[in-house]
Amino acid sequence: MKHKNILQLLALGMVSLLTACDPPLDFSEVKDADTELTGATKYIIAATPIGTTGIADYLLTANNLDEGMITTKGNGIEQDGSYRYYISHKNRFFSLLYGQGNPGAVTSYRLDGSGKLTKLTNFQSETVHVSAAVKDDVFLVKVPRSGNEFASMFRIDARQYQIVGEQQVNIVKLAGNGERAHFNGATQVGDKVFLPYMSIKGAAPDAFGTAYPDSTWVAVYSYPELKLEKIIRDNRTSFIGAYFNNGLVEIENGDAYAFSGASATNNSQPISKNPSAVVRINKGTTEFDKTYFFNVQQQSGGYHISSQTYVGKGIFILHMYTNPNTTIGPVGKFAIADVVNKTFKWVTGIPADITRTTTTNYSPKDGLKGYIGITTASEGSYVYVFDANLAVARRGLKVEGGTITAISALSY
């Protein structure tokens, strides 16, 4: 099966083995991640080691996020490169190298019967900045910010580790306004894939600038065919999400909520007039619900959303920019938002001297808890435990010798 997969990937011309000298992969000690599970969970923490070059992260494992300590010293699985991003799907953990336009390695892992993180496969793909779990696939999109007018969509079977579908999209034609559509993320909504995008100039010296700061677009594609069905539009908010930041989330009842930071710029200056807000696409529809508008900027006293972490039952942890009425500056404030009932509450217990926060985070989706990595100049790097009911955060697991970049979980 391994040789068959490789030949199929080479035939598609898009994926090849990363190195011919990698040792043979032994699947004998790795349980089928879809069956025979013991019910145990381990948490995967990606952390950038302090004072190193050429290493993006170490992948560490822990039995508990609420307390304790782990270290990067003599521990973890090294991830090379300058930047990695991560996605978990079908009880596998995928580590993707952002290659700055060059091909990027994709490495997949799962836990063996003893809970040890084990590499399954390692191959190269196009460098992408959009990734999502869609049906049985890891869905990837390569989006050029200038030059080439075509984005490339790839479907990678999450169990077979091979490309099973591909589609090209003319993003200038998709935008239809003289600029280009730049996808910020992808979300499975019902049986389709929804891709929010921003309109950008795509030319130096202001590639990410736009003449259309106060419009919202979501492209709807059939799946797995990847045929464009519709573009959902609205003019009450700016674009959804941001670069490397998906802003569209489907909740348990099938409704999808879209988060806008109102952060569009022109010549590096913020120009969005619409507020930072949440809008909704009701289950089974391909329109924004005109009766729903959650003005987060107004309720927060002028603050903008940076990103969000879903904790289940319509409850989100909102990552907010530290300074009101601007998206210039650090992300250092957090809030709990019930998007169904449109309530907002600031989180207490957040340290003051934050240097980094994570956006790839973990929650059991119980509506109660979320886990976010926070690094400060004075305390180092901790997993913070967020209590959604009390709107309080506290320090949990400490990571020594590194800066937390992502938190996930696998079963074994």
**Token pair for residue 168?**
């090209």
Has residue 324 been placed in a domain?
A: no
Where do we find the tokens 């950008």?
200
Q: Rounded to whole angstroms, how far apart are CA atoms 246 and 68?
A: 31
In a domain, 232, yes or no: yes
**Model confidence band, residue 53 (pLDDT cutoffs 50, 70, 90):** confident
Q: Is the dihedral of CA 177, 178, 184, 190 positive or negative?
A: positive
Q: How many domains is the chain built from?
A: 1
| pLDDT-derived band at 10, boundaries 50, 70, 90 | very low
The predicted pLDDT at position 14 comes to: 37
pLDDT of residue 35 exceeding 70, the answer is no
Q: 174-185 burial, b if ≥16 CB within 10 A, otherwise e?
A: bbeeebbbbbbb
Q: What is the mean pLDDT of residues 346-370?
A: 97
Q: Whose CA is closest to 77, among 99, 61, 100, 101? A: 61
The neighbouring-strand residues paired with 93 are 88, 109
Confidence at residue 30, expressed as pLDDT on a 0 to 100 scale: 44
Q: What percent helix, strand, coil does the chain show, rounded to 5?
A: 5, 50, 45
**Residue 8: predicted pLDDT:** 38
Q: What is the pLDDT of residue 156?
A: 93
Q: Is residue 91 in some structural domain?
A: no
**Per-residue pLDDT, 315:** 98
pLDDT value, residue 51: 82
Q: What are the tens digits of pLDDT across the range 96-155?
A: 988 666 667 789 999 999 999 999 988 777 778 899 999 999 999 999 999 999 999 999
Our measurement of the distance from residue 344's CA atom to the centroid of its chain's CA atoms, rounded to an integer in Å, reads 23
Average pLDDT over residues 37-62: 92
- According to the model, what pLDDT value does residue 29 have? 40
Q: Note whether residue 231 is domain-resident.
A: yes
Residue 5 has pLDDT above 60, yes or no: no
- Cα 126 → chain centroid: 17
Write out the residue range of the structural domain in which residue 221 sits: 128-293
Residue from 342, 346, 384 nearest 363 by CA:
384
More reliable by pLDDT, 29 or 349: 349
Q: Could you tell me which residues come within 8 angstroms of residue 279 by beta carbon, excluding any fewer than 6 positions away?
A: 216, 234, 236, 237, 257, 258, 260, 288, 289, 292, 293, 294
pLDDT in tens, 285-310: 999 999 999 999 999 999 999 999 99
Could you tell me if residue 245 is inside a domain?
yes
φ/ψ of residue 173, rounded to 5: -65, -40
Average model confidence (pLDDT) for the chain? Answer: 90
CATH code for position 258 = 2.40.10.480
The confidence score (pLDDT) of residue 294 equals 98
Distance CA 33, CA 41 (A): 12
Q: Is residue 368 part of a domain?
A: no
Instruction: Please indicate, yes or no, if residue 160 is contained in any of the structural domains.
Output: yes
How many degrees, rounded to 5, is the angle at CA 124 between CA 123 and CA 130?
Answer: 115
Closest CA to 250 of 118, 348, 98, 133: 133
Distance CA 36, CA 33 (A): 8
The pLDDT tens digits for 153-172 are 999 999 988 889 999 999 99
- Which residue has better confidence, 121 or 37? 121
Locate 112 and state its tokens: 């063996």
Q: What percent of the chain has pLDDT over 90?
A: 81
Average pLDDT over every residue of 217-223: 98
This model's pTM is above 0.75: yes
Residue 402 placed within a domain: no
Residue 26's pLDDT is what? 41
3-state secondary structure 20-51: CCCCCCCCCCCCCCCCCCCCCEEEEEEEEECC
Lowest mean pLDDT among 13-17, 64-68, 218-222, 264-268: 13-17
- Helices (H), ranges, 302-411: none
